[in-house]
Amino acid sequence: MYNNLLLREENGILIVTINREKALNALNTQTMLELKQLFEEDAPQRAIHGVILTGAGPKAFVAGADISEFLTLDVEKGREMAQRGHDTFFAIERFPKPVIAAVNGFALGGGCELAMACHMRIASENARFGQPEVSLGIIPGYGGTQRLIQHIGKGKAMELLLTGDMIAAPEALQLGLVNHVVPQESLLDKAQEILAKIAAKGPVAVTKVIESVNAYFQFDAFGFDTEVTAFAHTTGTSDFKEGASAFLEKRSPAFQGK
Residues serving a catalytic function are: 113, 133
> Backbone phi, then psi, for 246, in 5-degree steps?
-65, -40
- Provide the CA 163 distance to its chain's centre, in angstroms: 19
Please report the sign of the dihedral spanned by the C-alpha atoms of residue 125, residue 57, residue 14, residue 167.
positive
DSSP type of residue 195: H
Report the alpha-carbon distance of residue 162 to residue 100 in Å, rounded: 27
Report the alpha-carbon distance of residue 81 to residue 75 in Å, rounded: 10
Contact status, residue 121 vs residue 178, Cβ threshold 8 Å = yes
Report the alpha-carbon distance of residue 30 to residue 1 in Å, rounded: 12
Report the alpha-carbon distance of residue 228 to residue 81 in Å, rounded: 9
Give bridge partners of residue 215 from the DSSP assignment.
none
Contact status, residue 101 vs residue 121, Cβ threshold 8 Å = yes
Contact status, residue 234 vs residue 137, Cβ threshold 8 Å = yes
Query: Residue 206, class by beta-carbon neighbours within 10 Å (0-12 exposed, 13-18 middle, 19+ buried)?
Result: middle
